[in-house]
Structure 1
Amino acid sequence: MHRLAASVAGLALFAASAAQAIDLPSMNLPNLIGIGVGATPECSGCKDDMIGVVPGVRYVTESGRLFEWYGPYAQYNFGDLTGFQWGPAINLKLGRSNVSDDVIAKLHDIDTTVEFGGFIGYEYDNLQGIPYRLRFNANVLTNAGQVYDGARLNVGATLWVPLSERFFVGSGIGATWASASYVNTYYGVTDADSAASGLAPFQAGGGNQQVLGWIGVIGQISGHWWGGAGAFMQRLMGDAADSSFVRERGERDQLTYGAGIGYVW
């Protein structure tokens, strides 16, 4: 979760700190630009919410390449629109500072950083019988040691089903593995943190950081205009959930929700 921006983009386009993009159905929605408003925890592990606004873009180039930008996460597909997909990915990982909780605010600040890496995926559009769109996606991101060392791996699957020509419902699941440096940066409590906040010191290790799930709906409002809404739940796992700041002052279950509007062409 990000402190300064909600993880819900227009038309139920989501991008959580895991860089797990909740994408759009490709059927009848070739290109879109939108904006959404949502509520999300101030930081991953925090229990206080904030409101933010984020963009959403889905654009197919003349050469048939797909560019997707959902909140802080963007990727460019050099593969096919259906079938095997691959390409570069970039994510704006916002930091932690000036949070509402007086105790968590005494922990070390975390700088905003840009993460980069790549993704692979596979998309299948079934147009026979009951149509549906199934997509598998995995990406690896790092920030070249600017804030943390190592990397994190995100895997997920999404399913979209049209209930009519103007209405879609979607859902998905995912998980994140992260290096020890990443988990300790965002969930660790140093000796200095402990002295300032009163929380127990905590040295975090790497491993499974979280699992997640989401549900969303989108529908045609009029002409080129579509609207949507959705909710995204992350459950912290391993040392991320065991952190003293999460156990004593935060929550391991992180809910993000919002709605938005977009122009489709």
Structure 2
Amino acid sequence: MKKILGIALLAAACAAQAQTSQTVQLVPYPYLPKDVNFSLGAVALYMPKYTGSNERRLAAYPMFDAQWKNGAFFSAVNGLGYNFSKDPSLQYGLRLSLEAARDESRSSKLRGLGDVNTAIETGAFVNYNIDQNYSLASSIRYGSGVDHNGLQISFGGRATTALNSQNRLSASLTANWANTAYMQSYFGVTPSQSAISGYAQYTPSSGISDIKLGATWHWNIDGNWSLITGASVSRLSGDAGKSPFIFQKTPVTIFSAATYRF
């Protein structure tokens, strides 16, 4: 079953490069207007070629989001999962998410490090909505990395304010912890990789891999169309930031998305 659901998620999210969010962002059950709430659109991103790169690339992906009142959700942002709670202040459940691939061919600075393929992660999440403007989020995800034994745990908070009936702003702060297997896959250099790439051998330990600050402007153009624009800046910390092929410890991503609600 996991394999079937994972293939569906990979296909829908353009598996070669797409990545779901570290934490889950769901509309609380009482505020869902329909039994099935669906939107479709596209997002453009200006982002580093890989985490820690000082080179940038422009990418575009389809956006989709489906959330059912029974608790199920399927989203390019949230992944595929189920929220077991009907309490508007508490959300908890299980999900499948994606960790994006890192292709060696994307940058000359990755030469000799090999590819890290897109991974399907199994995990769980817990969110607590303090009120309509403030919320806390956490997640655990397992299955990323070269040997698919990478583990990540994320904690964060979000603040939202409405400017008027059509516009709102939000800010978020998230910290991500990763185990040794994940850190080695994405930031380490093995002896064989060192011999080919020229980078010194590097074996990072588990710890906080990054802290991310984000800001988003959400404009409801009308009852169906929305425009979402924002940016995020991460700070690679601990052993992740000390990796020999990390050239930018504070990578910035800028994005803009247009969606249509059915």
Shared fold (TM-score, shorter chain, > 0.5): yes
Task: Give, in angstroms, the shift of residue 92 of structure 1.
Answer: 1.5
TM-score normalized by the length of structure 2: 0.82
Task: Give, in angstroms, the shift of residue 4 of structure 1.
Answer: 5.3
Residues 108-141 of structure 1, C-alpha deviation per residue, up to 9 Å, x if partnerless?
2212211111111112334xxxxxx222111111
Verify the 8 A CA contact 1:187 1:204 in the aligned structure 2. Answer: yes
- Inter-partner Cα distance in structure 1 for 2:93 and 2:144: 18
Quick check: 1:118 aligned with 2:124?
yes
- Inter-partner Cα distance in structure 1 for 2:184 and 2:43: 31
1:22 to 1:53, Cα distance in 2 relative to 1, 3 A: farther
- Inter-partner Cα distance in structure 2 for 1:3 and 1:224: 27
Task: Give, in angstroms, the shift of residue 61 of structure 1.
Answer: 2.2
- Inter-partner Cα distance in structure 2 for 1:37 and 1:189: 31
- Inter-partner Cα distance in structure 1 for 2:102 and 2:203: 18
- Inter-partner Cα distance in structure 2 for 1:49 and 1:58: 27
1:188 to 1:53, Cα distance in 2 relative to 1, 3 A: same
Gaps of 5+ in 2: 1-13
Task: Give, in angstroms, the shift of residue 29 of structure 1.
Answer: 7.6
- Inter-partner Cα distance in structure 2 for 1:47 and 1:72: 28
- Inter-partner Cα distance in structure 1 for 2:194 and 2:82: 42
Superposed, 1:15-164 pairs within 5 Å as 15-16=20-21, 19-21=22-24, 30=33, 31-33=37-39, 34-63=41-70, 65=71, 67=73, 69-71=75-77, 73-80=79-86, 82-126=88-132, 133-143=133-143, 147-164=147-164
1:181 to 1:83, Cα distance in 2 relative to 1, 3 A: same
Task: Give, in angstroms, the shift of residue 162 of structure 1.
Answer: 0.9
Q: Which residue of the partner structure matches residue 259 of structure 1?
A: 256
Amino acid at match of 1:197: S
RMSD (Å), alpha carbons? 2.9
1:263 to 1:81, Cα distance in 2 relative to 1, 3 A: farther
Gaps of 5+ in 1: 8-14, 127-132
Amino acid at match of 1:118: A
Task: Give, in angstroms, the shift of residue 209 of structure 1.
Answer: 0.8
- Inter-partner Cα distance in structure 1 for 2:121 and 2:243: 23
Residues 4-32 of structure 1, C-alpha deviation per residue, up to 9 Å, x if partnerless?
5466xxxxxxx45xx24566799988545
- Inter-partner Cα distance in structure 2 for 1:100 and 1:59: 32
Residues 35-84 of structure 1, C-alpha deviation per residue, up to 9 Å, x if partnerless?
21112222222222222223444444244x26252447444322136211
TM-score normalized by the length of structure 1: 0.81
SS in 2 for 1:183: helix
Verify the 8 A CA contact 1:5 1:51 in the aligned structure 2. Answer: no
Verify the 8 A CA contact 2:189 2:203 in the aligned structure 1. Answer: yes
Identity %: 23
Verify the 8 A CA contact 1:3 1:99 in the aligned structure 2. Answer: no
SS in 1 for 2:170: strand
SS in 1 for 2:51: coil
Q: Which residue of the partner structure matches residue 237 of structure 2?
A: 237
Q: Which residue of the partner structure matches residue 224 of structure 1?
A: 224
| Larger RCO (CA under 8 A, 6+ residues apart) | 1
1:76 to 1:52, Cα distance in 2 relative to 1, 3 A: farther
SS in 1 for 2:241: helix
Q: Which residue of the partner structure matches residue 129 of structure 1?
A: none
How many residues are aligned here? 245
Verify the 8 A CA contact 1:137 1:155 in the aligned structure 2. Answer: yes
